Chains A and B, each alone.
Chain A
């Protein structure tokens, strides 16, 4: 069983305090840019956990997951920026973003969920692209999304008078915006983990697993497969929506460029590489795939030093390695780096 419920209180306290101290350590040892990367990594953990509900728990391959992230981000941006001259409170926007994303999830899922796995993959992929094309083109006749230029000057996260965009001091320690965002993202990640764990071991989670393993058999057992698949879509989407809201507030600027197919694929990679369906594995995958590519940044200057020119653009190298990793993982370790231990006593269990 996955941690949380069984870990002793003292151990939990230790982990949580370590997580709270972590940003200061990261900033001191590695610098501000790495703290920023850590913040982004937390967002990706949320996204990967959200996609894990759809792909890992319910076994529905969604290749357009970034669209829900985009829906959340644009909800926040439109409701908290000069674009439409609305500045709604955060406590309203985040539920709205989550609900809207869930609605989009249902809108996508309702007509397509009777399709078998690989068709679903293509349709979700198409859906992701449609959302992006719409975002790019909804700047006329009425300017809603401001097209490819994106939306700027988005309000930072703020709760009444407390703005996450400014530094605050508490007991002699200065919390910069990056620290504050780290803490709020961490809180959201913990909530996401909690919901994921509880879901996994709930009646719903078991039903999802049944659908994933054999839909026909699940149906025969009296599981309402269509509704449960829709629920998986909606829940996964709402996590994406919340992460999108946080992303927009964190960046202060969004454009359709941030929501491409390749981003959907990357989140899928995180789930698959880490260990599909396993919460710990998915978190590991998300952290690895956000942090490792950042280290590739040093490859560019390194090539410059050794060869005099840059032969391989680090961004391309990153994609090449992603592709290679996907193929190799499926061939060599199809259940991920840190797979779920199978406790159900299946014949295939070889010590996992």
Chain B
């Protein structure tokens, strides 16, 4: 039992981050039916931009909370504009193209972002100097530090805010209308292009915050980090029911917890046969199992077209 609570807490933190990234996938999928492969890489840009900003601002002598806030703001601005431009330049012209076309474009955009990042930041790991050493507290025999608590709370606020936005704002209603039927929504006076642009903007901005959390939590970043993060977040979105915002949240948390527990126990359970180096496989196994057993996800509705 000793590591159970600890892994549960680690999983919760990890899951909050997955959930935030998963929101970006699920919102775009809900409206466009497109897997935005580049979303993980947008998150990576968010992580690396905030790492650079934190380093710069810290070197300039700003207090830590101020530099964190400014770095987060900077990352949000960069990622939101990136997400907006991707949609405008790469996806919008393909709105009525055959299915394969936007998917291949998305892969291309993903590669472009990765290697642009490799050009800007280099291919080595970007390490964040230990400017914050969050104090830990004891909880049921496990260690939790303030950073972990802050990540979970901030993530919860963002998710709650997004769900409120979608259900109670004018734009949110337009988003839901577009998701249900773009043609009818546009007949009703909804500017669907603007709605789709907004979706990318919001998803990317949330991705930027997730990137900031990743870089603070792990302390290192890399131009290729978006790939795994994106895949896991996509898995989380599918697990929860792709296109469903609440599902993305639940899927993210669940995946984070499954992964942490599995990584914590696999060595013990398999008698040392498999180590935690198999960690990254769990997400794929979960994905394949979900697609086989319940392709509509936990909260999704059954639909002949989706699976």
Contact = CB atoms under 8 A, between A and B. Distances in A.
Interface in B81-108: 90, 93-94, 97-105, 107-108
Contacts of A136: 277
Nearest to B306: A116
Given A121-B103, A330-B97, 19 more contacts: A59-B100, A111-B291, A116-B307, A119-B238, A119-B295, A119-B307, A129-B281, A130-B281, A133-B277, A137-B278, A261-B227, A272-B104, A313-B118, A313-B123, A320-B115, A322-B111, A323-B108, A323-B112, A330-B108
A109 to B, nearest CB: 12
A316 B117 CA distance: 10
Nearest to B277: A137
Given A268-B104, A320-B119, A330-B101, A111 B288 contact: yes
Given A118-B35, A118-B99, A331-B93, A326 B104 contact: yes
A330 B105 contact: yes
A21 interface: no
A331 B119 contact: no
A152 interface: no
20 contacts: A63-B107, A116-B305, A118-B35, A119-B238, A121-B103, A127-B284, A129-B284, A133-B278, A141-B273, A265-B107, A268-B107, A316-B119, A319-B118, A320-B119, A322-B111, A325-B108, A326-B108, A330-B94, A331-B90, A331-B105
Contact of A130 (B93, B99, B101, B284): B284
A279 to B, nearest CB: 18
A325 B99 CA distance: 18
Nearest to A126: B284
Contacts of B166: none
Nearest to A133: B281
Nearest to A334: B101
Contacts of A116: 305-307
The binding surface of chain A is classed by DSSP as: helix
Contacts of A127: 284
Interface string A319-340: 1101111110011001000000
B110 interface: yes
Given A115-B291, A115-B295, A126-B287, A320 B108 contact: no
Interface residues of B, number: 50
Given A137-B278, A316-B115, A330 B291 contact: no
Interface string B294-307: 01000000000111
A301 interface: no
A116 B307 CA distance: 5
Interface residues of A, number: 43
The binding surface of chain B is classed by DSSP as: helix
A291 interface: no
B234 interface: yes
Given A116-B307, A121-B103, A133-B278, A319 B108 contact: no
A265 B111 contact: yes
A137 B107 CA distance: 28
Nearest to A63: B107
Nearest first, the 8 A-B pairs at minimum CB distance are A326-B108, A323-B111, A323-B112, A126-B284, A327-B108, A319-B115, A330-B105, A320-B115
A130 B103 CA distance: 22
B109 interface: yes
A302 interface: no
Interface string A111-129: 1101111110111011101
Nearest to B34: A118
B292 interface: yes
A122 B118 contact: no
A312 interface: yes
A122 B111 contact: no
B114 interface: yes
A193 to B, nearest CB: 23
Interface string A253-275: 00000000100010010001000
Q: Among A141, A272, A323, find the residue whose CB has the most chain B CB atoms closer than 10 A.
A: A323
A78 to B, nearest CB: 20
Nearest to A55: B100
Q: Among B90, B104, B238, B295, find the residue whose CB has the most chain A CB atoms closer than 10 A.
A: B104
A320 B93 contact: no
B191 interface: no
A259 to B, nearest CB: 16
Nearest to A272: B104
A125 B238 CA distance: 15
A35 interface: no
A56 B112 CA distance: 24
